[in-house]
Amino acid sequence: MSNAVYPGSFDPFTNGHLDITQRGAAIFDELLVAVLLNDSKNAMFSVEERVTMAREATVHLPNVKVLSFDGLLVDFMRKERSRVILRGLRALSDFEYEFQLAQMNKQLAPEMETFFMVTDAKYSYLSSRGVKEVFGFGGAIHEFVPPGVFRRMRERVRPRGM
Ligand code: ADP
């Protein structure tokens, strides 16, 4: 049985993430969306909220599971008995970072393989950061995120520092 882990910050989970998750779930028997507990990134949502939003958005996908993790991705993957890291690629600007990350993970754990899925053109401009920026300036974000994420973002008064 094939399985893969799709790791990220998902702060918040966007329609671009959902697209990669759906397409990944159609390729692998099981796909684990792994939400990174990352204190160094100034997250808008707690890791619990990010997990809940990703779960809500993927509830229609029976072979997708959402969990959080802390520390090294490769340690988490060993624990979850997975050898495939799934990542999405938007523009050339993603490539350098993703390339470094994939090589670093290969050094740390040679048995792991990183698979890249190219974004659907309609999501190529979409990032969690962009969504937060547009939201911070009062712009409409409902086209960019799943309904549950939209609801939670609206429940927030305009976040401080944005
Ligand atoms: P990071 O892990 O750098 O914090 P994110 O949580 O924003 O990144 O995203 C997780 C993964 O999803 C990354 O591989 C990123 O390139 C990919 N991704 C993000 N947005 C999109 C999109 N619109 N289309 C395709 N892939 C995307």
Instruction: Dump pLDDT digits (tens) for 25-84.
Output: 999 999 999 999 976 668 899 999 999 999 999 999 999 999 999 999 999 999 999 999
**pLDDT classification of 158: cutoffs 50, 70, 90:** low
The pLDDT score that the predictor gives to residue 92 is 82
Mean pLDDT of the chain: 93
Alpha helices in the chain (DSSP H): 15-27, 47-57, 73-79, 92-108, 128-136, 147-155
Q: Is there a contact between 143 and 114 (Cβ–Cβ < 8 Å)?
A: no
CATH 3.40.50.620 fits 3-156, yes or no: yes
Say which of 17, 50, 87, 132 is annotated catalytic: 17
**Active-site annotation holds for 127:** no
* pLDDT at position 157 over 90: no
> Distance between CA atoms of 34 and 94, rounded to whole angstroms?
19
CA dihedral sign of residues 86, 9, 80, 58 = negative
- What residue owns the CA closest to ligand 1's atom 2? 8
Residue to probe by mutation, ligand 1, list 41, 72, 119, 132, most atoms within 8 Å of CB: 119
Q: CA distances (Å), 104 to each of 42, 49, 69, 127, in order?
A: 23, 29, 18, 23
The pLDDT score that the predictor gives to residue 2 is 94
Q: CA distances (Å), 18 to each of 21, 49, 52, 55, 57, in order?
A: 5, 16, 14, 11, 7
pTM: 0.93
What residues does each domain of the chain span? 3-156
Verify whether ligand 1 is closer than 6 Å to residue 21 (CB atom): no
What one-letter code names the amino acid at 26? A
Q: Closest ligand 1 atom, CA of 10?
A: 6
